[in-house]
Amino acid sequence: MGTNQLQTEATTVKRLPARASYERDEAYAVLDEGLIAHVGIAVDGQPFVIPMVYGRDGDRLLLHGSVASRLLRTLDTGTPVCVTVTILDGLVLARSQFHHSMNYRSVVVLGTATRLGDPAAAAAALECIVDHIVPGRPAEARPGNDAELRQTTVLELPIEAASVKRRTGGPIDDDADLDLGIWAGVVPVHLSIGEPVPDPDLGDVALPASLDPYRRP
Ligand SMILES: Cc1cc2nc3c(=O)[nH]c(=O)nc-3n(C[C@H](O)[C@H](O)[C@H](O)COP(=O)(O)OP(=O)(O)OC[C@H]3O[C@@H](n4cnc5c(N)ncnc54)[C@H](O)[C@@H]3O)c2cc1C
């Protein structure tokens, strides 16, 4: 593991720095719980921020996509990238419109990605990404074959420059507004996983072990 501190000049939180952290453990907790990465690049001065799935293996983020993808092809040139993962925890309703907010945990990772050219390394990275979607799933699903791997670009992004920011707690209203008689508080938000829906062509195949956490009690 690299240094425990992920702070660089570019990842230093300027606004409300008390909400920031640069600890790997905190960053990794958010990255491991999050599901979607928003991957930002600039192409000819035009920023693009594209949603992707991802995985984390130790101190690196793993991304994959079609070899034809503009995003993947651009990343493969070593262009600077910004990856953001956000978990929404609550809607914060204040007495004033001005102080409305959200409770969240988010991570921003900056760096440059490198293609995993070694087929074994790429295949292992794809397993890591699938495992991030549903833990334990790689052991149940067919691994990628040579043709599939040839159609796929797999990239690693070292997690060396990053920041965590989070907001917790209720609204921070002005004292003068506290007696307005307007409801204020937090509406918690949770990601809800539904009951698995079998594919129509499945036949008599039982729900796999990886979906045990999603079974209706
Ligand atoms: C939850 C989620 C996970 C995904 N995971 C992956 C992944 O792991 N790997 C992967 O390759 N792709 C993934 N995708 C699809 C990804 O967002 C892109 O559509 C895809 O990578 C193509 O990228 P591109 O740069 O080649 O797109 P292009 O087709 O070249 O983009 C051209 C334009 O299309 C529009 N566009 C592209 N993608 C989107 C989008 N998702 N939503 C709205 N407009 C869009 C934008 O305006 C963009 O400028 C995921 C999408 C979602 C929503």
| Distance between Cα 19 and ligand 1 center (Å) | 31
Task: Return all residues near 77 (Cβ < 8 A) that are at least 6 apart.
Answer: none
Rounded distance between C-alpha atoms, residue 87 and residue 191, angstroms: 9
| Distance between Cα 103 and ligand 1 center (Å) | 27
Lookup: tokens for 54: 């991802």
Burial per residue of 167-184, b for 16 or more beta-carbon CB atoms within 10 angstroms, e otherwise: beeebebeeeeeeeeeeb
What is residue 194's three-state secondary structure?
coil
pLDDT in tens, 129-163: 999 999 999 999 999 999 999 999 999 999 999 99
| Distance between Cα 178 and ligand 1 center (Å) | 45
68: alpha, beta or left, given left = phi > 0 and alpha = psi -120 to 50? alpha
| Distance between Cα 87 and ligand 1 center (Å) | 20
Kindly give the number of the ligand 1 atom that is closest to the alpha carbon of 48: 49
Rounded distance between C-alpha atoms, residue 42 and residue 46, angstroms: 5
Ligand 1 cavity residues, CB under 6 Å: 36, 48, 50-53, 64-66, 69-71
Half-sphere exposure of 117 (CA within 13 A, CB side): 2
Kindly give the number of the ligand 1 atom that is closest to the alpha carbon of 65: 11
Question: What pLDDT sits at residue 149?
Answer: 94
Question: What pLDDT sits at residue 39?
Answer: 98
Q: Which of 52, 74, 132 to mutate to test the pocket of ligand 1 (most atoms within 8 A of CB)?
A: 52
Low-confidence residues of the chain: pLDDT under 70: 1-2, 216-217
| Distance between Cα 71 and ligand 1 center (Å) | 8
pTM: 0.93
pLDDT in tens, 23-52: 999 999 999 999 999 999 999 999 999 999
Q: Which residues pair with 54 in a beta bridge?
A: none
Burial per residue of 19-33, b for 16 or more beta-carbon CB atoms within 10 angstroms, e otherwise: ebbbebebbbebbee
Question: What pLDDT sits at residue 2?
Answer: 54
Rounded distance between C-alpha atoms, residue 63 and residue 75, angstroms: 10
Question: What pLDDT sits at residue 216?
Answer: 64
Count of CB atoms situated within 10 Å of the CB of 113? 27
Rounded distance between C-alpha atoms, residue 153 and residue 77, angstroms: 12
Contact 96, 178 (CB under 8 A): no
